[in-house]
Amino acid sequence: MANVVVVGAQWGDEGKGKLVDWLSERADVIVRFQGGHNAGHTLVIDGKVYKLSLLPSGIVRSGKLSVIGNGVVLDPWHLKEEIAKLQGQGVQISPENLMIAENTPLILPVHSELDQAREGQNKVAKIGTTGRGIGPAYEDKVGRRAIRVSDLADPETLKARIDRLAVHHDTLRRGMGMAEVDTDALLARLNEIVPLVLQFAAPVWKVLAEERKAGKRILFEGAQGSLLDVDFGTYPFVTSSNVIAGQAATGSGMGPGSIDFVLGIVKAYTTRVGEGPFPTELDDADGQRLGERGHEFGVVTGRKRRCGWFDAALVRQTCATSGVKGIAFTKLDVLDGFETLKICVGYELDGKTLDYLPFAADQQARCVPIYEEIDGWSDSTEGARSWADLPANAIKYVRRVEELIECPVALVSTSPEREDTILVTDPFQD
């Protein structure tokens, strides 16, 4: 049986939550391998809405093991709030169904304070960060001064880690006119949260190796989208971690040979939150219509998403960098009623034609999308569960996208309800 990695193949918000939940019924273990609590998933199960931003989507399903891997940066206070909220909705959460890697770095109050101060003082080009401390936490991780879950178990180690962290942050804070870190207050706050976090701590790499050896199906879940990857995204308007499928291995402790199928999630159109280039963005009635019909507001931040036509050139690019073997096509129903649809097939840059988006920011800004038009459809696709339920032009649209991105469609989602899904290829049976 295959182990599956799910990645967003655009700028995030592609509908990963529903698809991961849909796939988790077939999986035994669900692993979150990167990001923090800055990206949200909305799950709708039997009419009940669950909003997650840190916990793996599999947590709402009984009989599954959910894992937070070392590639994640963990805000322990947000973890506490999210667990309490889900438990209030009747979800059972215990060390039996939730594990956190011992080497997972923590997001601390100093990180969110620094994040917000930087964005507030940046008068050159705002990144569009959520201000939740994700970037500074990753900086401390690679700077070898992070506090990790395992450090919470020993008071002397924890105090030493805090002191080391404060030396670096105090220099930054003084330069920005901020008060130095109150190390005693930070230590006290961490000590309060220690019992909650440590009950879930485990050698995740070992657990996953044993689960794989036992023949269990493992589903790897990322956050954000591949175009926000720190290496292959639209830098510097990106997140602070690797989002592409290769991160599933290093962010969980399993080798790349453990990955059998990469499923890329894409919307039938394109959205983006925050700053940065967006070649197919629509500032007209069509863009407004996509946003209203698609309910395009961030789960975590509530920010309105920018909307535009489907960009096949970009998705082809992300399918290549993540090694996507099949895509899940979501929100097809949002396109119902459009007389004509457009698909970006490449760009014009300074008189030349490109079939990819270059990395240079100045070139990205000058890229003009080249569109191919395709007839729309008037009938509803909402709730369709087979090809026979789809209008002929909707099928033509999906098939044309397959050709342009050079990757087959494995699933088509036609509403937020998990069962409103057309299965073409089961990733777990690859």
Beta bridge partners of 72: 35
Residues present in the chain in total: 430
- Catalytic position from the list 13, 115, 140, 333: 13
Please indicate whether residue 41 is annotated as part of the active site: yes
Of 21, 28, 37, 41, the catalytic one is 41
- Name which of 36, 277, 272 is nearest 135 in CA terms: 36
DSSP β-ladder status, 409-413 and 41-45 = unpaired
One-letter identity of residue 18: K
Instruction: Please say if 170 is a catalytic residue.
Output: no
Q: Which residues of 38-70 are buried (b: 16+ CB within 10 A; e: fewer)?
A: bbbbbbbbeeeebebbbbbbbbbbeebbbbbbb
Task: For strands 65-68 and 98-101, give the pairing.
Answer: parallel
What is the set of active-site residues?
A: 13, 41
